[in-house]
Amino acid sequence: MGSLVSVLLLIGVMPCAALPPREDIEWLDVWLPHTNDHDLPQVLLIGDSITRGYGPGVEKALTGRAYVGRLATSKSLGDPALLSEIELILQTNRVDVIHFNNGLHGPKYSEQDYADALPALLAVFKRTAPNARLIWANSTNVLAVRGSGEMTQPRIAERNRLAAAVVTKQGIPIDDLFSVVKDHPEYHLADGVHFTDIGYEKLAAQVAATVSSLLAPADCSDLASLALPGTTLQAQRESPGHFQVPDPSPFVPDLGVLPGFCRVTAQIRAVAGSEIGVEIWLPSAWNRRLLEVGNGGFAGAINYAGLAAAIKQGFVGVSTDDGHRTPASVTPTAAWSIGHAEKIVDFGHRAVHLASVTAKSVTNRYFGEPPDHSYFSGCSDGGREALMSAQRNPDDFDGWAVGAPANAWTSLMSGFVYVSRQVKSLPTPAFSALALETLRQSALSQCDGLDGVKDGIIGEPGACHFNPRQLVCKNAASGGCLSLGQAQVVANIYRGPPAVNGRLIPGYADTVGAEDLWALWLTGPVPAAFTEPSVASFGRAYFAQMVYQQNGRDLSTIPLSKLFADGRRGPGREVDAVDPDLNRVRGAGKKIIQYHGSADAAIPVEYSRRYYRAVQKYLGGDVTDFYRLFIMPGVGHCTGGPGADAINADDAAVPFDADHDVVAALIAWVENGKAPDRIIATHLQVDSSSSPLAARATGKVQFTRPLCVYPKHAAWNGAGSADEASSFACR
């Protein structure tokens, strides 16, 4: 059980012209139970002495479903102190549902003053508790007036009417407490304002029922009976704590302590030969949004880390295996596609679409209403999935967070084959770790300061004209320099292959100064669990298994131009997401935020720039009204590298807000019209001791940097600390 706080302040107010109108005695009562517990939703009742009367009954009625606190005060709308008190509580405590009332106090404020002040209160809620569900409670009636300064029944009725107009316009439901007691004078005490035990019981029951309607149902197992075409559902409630991943993998990090949630698994058989696995996690405290998270590589698994992150922020979390399951392995495979054309369609685009459709139906059944907004977030293949969704099924989501997308899949895989052939042309081992480090250090010594600050990051790699041939020596075997053959291969990796069928395949020139990241993906030496660099495995899996439908197909004699053409004519029709026509996205007011690390040693950042420029050209110019690209200097594939790579909320250090989190920035753009001009990225100290494949940030911030809307870049102001984002401007 968390901390329990109760405060009661009685303040005698002396006449003072500088203070707003107040009563002879002002008081504040705050009761916040279980402030450190996150297994159930946190409900805050805001009101006056009537709220203090029915509050314990609401708390009792919602036992096991929510924690209920209260903030009761004598201050009225119009008094700035009321907003300050509420803001302080919301800034320092998580709140999922706010049930609020104000109207019996403040007789010296006119009814119009009262109505004019209500939007300011709603703004406080939006600013300090943006994900909280709101319920307005109208004021209860009075039977008698104790003095000329008291509120009268007509005044209360008028305040209720004015408040109803304001909250209804903003889509906030109304809890009609006035009607509960207005025809029951026996519920009132002799003062005509407060209530007997029975009166408070009736009010508590009404409030508990209204709040309960916004909370998740107590039983989630009923979802298994939901009838959806070609779909089998299973559902069970997961208790708060550590979730046991069904198929443990070295790629899945510790999910941490999770709140309780309803876990739904689905098998969707869209057509013969298709079997799409989906998981839908429904949180106890819902923010009225749905977030589908993408996959990586050839998929084949549920993204449990993404689901966990989603429900921690109150989203309905959705993930699909893209239509096939493969055992966790460091070696990618597309063997599942051999003889299964429909599974290629599932992987290409159908699984993400049907997962969204299914999740919305499940959400509607569970919460009694569909999500207000739906979003997609993914990196690598998940970035490809995001752009494919925007191109083919733009009605599925309101916004897409697109990370390092493998959208030009066939082109990318052709580039992988090219690099693999280059590396295999050298004696084994092609490169030592020392050789790659020598490359990195030499490039940094020449180009690190081009962006105005020496920090181990080449912020403008396009301005760096590093020539690896300057490292050629006779004793290259030592690793402190390069052989002529190695230098040529490095130059070819930077440049990429010659034009293939008239189309250039990007190279890895932007990774200059981060060549240590090449080891896993491009050149080796690879970690012990791997047998070869990943580009070799991916390229062979795509072309041999998915394109040519043969295990063990020898690709060595097939020209790169033929590989590319066969891929585009075959599976590329389903998996390549390169259509620049985003008219439907723009026309519907939907938004896309795309990000890509410049030091990405898997998917060259030029792919993101190229697609963005293609969209600009197709749509006739500037597209920043709905589509913005952010380049992340020094960041590797989705994460890692020397740059500031964290733009997703971290429990310890990165907040979930529009300044620091890409999904939060997307929400602010879609729902509030606040377009992101920059996103503050964070570089966290990383602990990879447990598993280098699933390293976790320690929560210690090493530095922050702003990411700028392409083609702008962050420029140091020359004076402030280079570790602080505030010392940089986008230019």
* Catalytic positions: 380, 600, 637
What CA–CA distance (Å, rounded) separates 547 from 570? 6
Do the strands 373-379 and 591-597 form a parallel or antiparallel pair, or are they unpaired?
A: unpaired
What SS3 class is residue 597? strand
Q: Classify burial at 249, counting beta carbons within 10 Å of its beta carbon; exposed 0-12, middle 13-18, buried 19 or more.
A: middle
What CA–CA distance (Å, rounded) separates 168 from 133? 14
Among the listed residues 574, 528, 486, 541, the one whose alpha carbon sits nearest the alpha carbon of residue 693: 528
Is the distance from CB of 651 to CB of 657 less than 8 angstroms?
A: no
Looking up tokens 């029944």 gives 153
Q: Is the peptide bond before 405 cis (omega within 30 degrees of 0)?
A: no
Is the distance from CB of 336 to CB of 630 less than 8 angstroms?
A: no
What are the Cα distances from residue 108, in Å, to 111, 448, 608?
A: 9, 66, 61
Do the strands 373-379 and 289-293 form a parallel or antiparallel pair, or are they unpaired?
A: parallel
Q: Determine the distance from the C-alpha atom of residue 476 to the mean position of all C-alpha atoms in its chain, rounded to a whole number.
A: 46
Looking up tokens 């907004």 gives 373
Looking up tokens 């790579």 gives 645
Query: In DSSP terms, which residues pair with 595 in a beta bridge?
Result: 403, 630
- Between CA 134 and CA 374, with CA 62 as vertex, the angle to 5 degrees is 40
Is the distance from CB of 645 to CB of 723 less than 8 angstroms?
A: no
Is the distance from CB of 640 to CB of 681 less than 8 angstroms?
A: no
Is the distance from CB of 278 to CB of 300 less than 8 angstroms?
A: no
- Between CA 711 and CA 721, with CA 717 as vertex, the angle to 5 degrees is 115
Among the listed residues 434, 559, 439, the one whose alpha carbon sits nearest the alpha carbon of residue 490: 439
DSSP type of residue 349:
I
What CA–CA distance (Å, rounded) separates 485 from 423? 10
419: left (phi over 0), alpha (psi -120 to 50) or beta: alpha
What SS3 class is residue 500? strand
DSSP type of residue 527:
P
What are the Cα distances from residue 411, in Å, to 496, 523, 648?
A: 11, 19, 29
Is the distance from CB of 46 to CB of 87 less than 8 angstroms?
A: no
- In sign, the C-alpha dihedral spanning 73, 74, 76, 82 is negative
Among the listed residues 379, 388, 389, 432, the one whose alpha carbon sits nearest the alpha carbon of residue 408: 388
The CB-side HSE value for 106 (13 A sphere, CA atoms) comes to: 26
DSSP type of residue 223:
G
Angle between helices 484-495 and 409-424 (to 10 degrees): 180
DSSP type of residue 139:
P
What CA–CA distance (Å, rounded) separates 285 from 502? 53
* Tokens (6 digits) for 483: 């052989």
Please report, for the chain, how many H helices and E strands are present, in that order. Answer: 20, 22
What are the Cα distances from residue 706, in Å, to 670, 677, 713?
A: 21, 10, 9
* Tokens (6 digits) for 70: 């209260």
What CA–CA distance (Å, rounded) separates 159 from 168? 14
